Amino acid sequence: MRIDFYILASCDDRLRLNFACRLTEKAYRLGHDVFICTESNTQQKVVDDLLWTFRPGSFIPHAVLDISNNKQLPVVVGQNIDTQRSYNILLNLATQFDNGPHQFERIIELVDQNETIRTSARQRYRRYKEQGHDLTTHQI
């Protein structure tokens, strides 16, 4: 499994979420299924809205995961990983995340300069490294 940490120079959460949308759009255009794991209901709603509006002319077919909504769209946004289907890519925005038994080809961790986000990302980085995963860091 490939794991990429994108380190953003800002602590502006809006920039982090916009970057998440850009990465999601790229993955979608390349034919990948993406699950975006969010931190909260509020963040889930913001990401849902941004996927329609982050860029003029953007179109990313997606759904928000809930019990009554397990659509087979290429992008799904939720707080808990959808275990009903598999995804190529997990884009993680949550601070508390356990990959557990779920398998992805790639995990993308978006880290900004917020201390809570940085600290939790460092913990995940160590855990991934201990598990023997290939890790790549990108300074943005």
CA atoms within 13 A on the CB side of 33: 14
Mean per-residue pLDDT for 69-98? 84
What pLDDT score does 4 carry? 97
The edge-to-edge listing of strands for the beta sheet with 75-78 is 62-64, 75-78, 34-37, 89-92, 106-111, 2-7, 134-139
Q: What is the mean pLDDT of the chain?
A: 90
What pLDDT score does 41 carry? 93
Is the pLDDT assigned to residue 67 strictly greater than 70? no
Is the pLDDT assigned to residue 85 strictly greater than 90? no
Q: Using 50, 70 and 90 to split pLDDT, how confident is the model at 68?
A: low
The CATH number covering residue 64 comes to 3.40.50.10110
Q: For residue 120, what are the domain limits?
A: 2-139
Mean per-residue pLDDT for 87-100? 85
Which value, to the nearest 10 degrees, does the dihedral of the CA atoms of residues 2, 42, 60, 86 take?
A: 40
**How many domains does one find in the chain?**
1
The model carries a pTM of 0.92
